[in-house]
Chains A and B, each alone.
Chain A
């Protein structure tokens, strides 16, 4: 959807057109930040209501970045309130694949290979969940949301240099942990 065109129209009337298409991105970030499905939904709900409220004052062109920033603020706010509860890393069980895209192995994969893939996916997930939040959010915004350094800097309100070093540290940690455990990936 051509965001520029949409924004040329009346913003107030087109929250559905400008913001709602990024609901999945918002959910994905909330889910990775909160690590717990229920807490993530609360954050998502809170963030979407905030987005609707602030929408008349939205003047930018990057509505996805704008929404992700709101999600991040909501998540940090929630963690502050629930300090000591939500900050405990929650192990993700093998079964916890609700709402994910890549669950069903394609028919042309051989069964053993897809089993190994599924197991590794689960491991990588745990590993990312265990990353400190500032590394985790940077990695998710880059690798899953494919934001540019500048966009990540805006969403996380962090200088670009810090974004770069966090990204580097996050990636190194992932590869090193995978190497230690001998994962195939």
Chain B
């Protein structure tokens, strides 16, 4: 059936069809439509159009296109600075360290992991590692080297970054190593180690720091992603995942215990 005559309200019929009318407008239209054959057939035609259009496929991005697009984005991002003296990073680090020193004093008796208020500099790092984690979950972006063997993953980073990240297999604790990847955090290349917990992915971002010793892991949560950050032997470590916080803590304590 097609609409031969015209009625000025067919666009209102369409608006109702598209859920754009409020209840009062819809009720008004209802009264009119009961007596208007043009509007009645307009509605049939709209239903028919939607039936036909339901058949057309949504054109998701093919993996190859996605990869090329992401590579194109990487190419226009600011290049990471590989020189050891990086004033921007050091000043960030300095302010971050100050904010945590107060925390260390105050929390001497509070041994439990604190939901501490992160300084702006660290907040941005937290967001960056989450963004890195989310991006890694896009198809084809999780790992550059796919191996469950730490002796394969560790040498893979040789020559790709200016430090040798610690790589541990935690398979016996239920966190098998899946592979490694190069990522960029805070404008520098970092190592990302990929672990699995059941169906969840845990990304562990690793980069060197001037801070020595072992710090208590600090917890943060953003948009359903959990982050634990700690420092160990001049290495900054950030574990990011959508696993429950206690699982992530378990992962970190296993990592710290593992030789």
Contact = CB atoms under 8 A, between A and B. Distances in A.
Q: Binding site of A, secondary structure by majority: helix, strand, loop or mixed? A: helix
Contacts of B55: 102, 117, 120-121, 124, 185
Contact of A103 (B3, B57, B76): B57
Interface stretch (B46-54, B85-93, B202-210, B230-238): B46-54
B56 A121 contact: yes
A179 interface: yes
Interface in B115-168: 123-124, 127-128, 130-132, 134-135, 138
Interface in A100-139: 100-103, 117, 120-121, 124-125, 128, 139
B69 A45 contact: yes
Chain A CB count within 10 A is highest, among B55, B59, B135, for B59
B20 interface: yes
Contacts, number: 144
B73 A175 contact: no
A183 interface: yes
Nearest to B135: A16
B20 A148 contact: yes
Nearest to B3: A172
Contacts of B57: 97, 100-103, 121, 125
Interface stretch (A6-14, A62-70, A75-83): A6-14
Interface in B5-59: 10-11, 14-15, 18, 20, 45-46, 48-53, 55-59
A174 interface: yes
A149 B18 CA distance: 9
B45 A17 contact: no
Nearest to B42: A168
A171 B49 contact: yes
A125 B127 contact: no
A87 interface: no
Contacts of A158: none
B52 A175 contact: yes
Contact of A175 (B45, B60, B128): B45
Contacts of A53: 76
A95 interface: no
A183 B11 contact: no
A94 interface: no
A185 B11 CA distance: 24
B56 A168 contact: no
A44 B69 contact: yes
Interface string B187-230: 00000000000000000000000000000000000110000000
A25 to B, nearest CB: 9
A50 to B, nearest CB: 10
B259 interface: no
Contacts of A6: 223
A13 B49 CA distance: 42
Given A53-B76, A171-B45, A175-B48, A99 B2 contact: no
Chain B CB count within 10 A is highest, among A1, A99, A121, for A99
B72 interface: yes
Interface string A1-27: 110011001100111110010011001
A52 B223 CA distance: 21
List 8 A-B pairs, minimum CB-CB distance, nearest first.
A100-B57, A99-B62, A171-B49, A16-B131, A27-B61, A31-B59, A121-B55, A185-B52
Interface of B: 2-3, 10-11, 14-15, 18, 20, 45-46, 48-53, 55-62, 65-66, 68-69, 72-73, 76-77, 123-124, 127-128, 130-132, 134-135, 138, 222-223
7 contacts: A9-B127, A14-B127, A52-B77, A99-B65, A121-B56, A175-B49, A179-B2
Given A17-B130, A139-B53, 4 more contacts: A20-B135, A128-B53, A171-B14, A172-B49
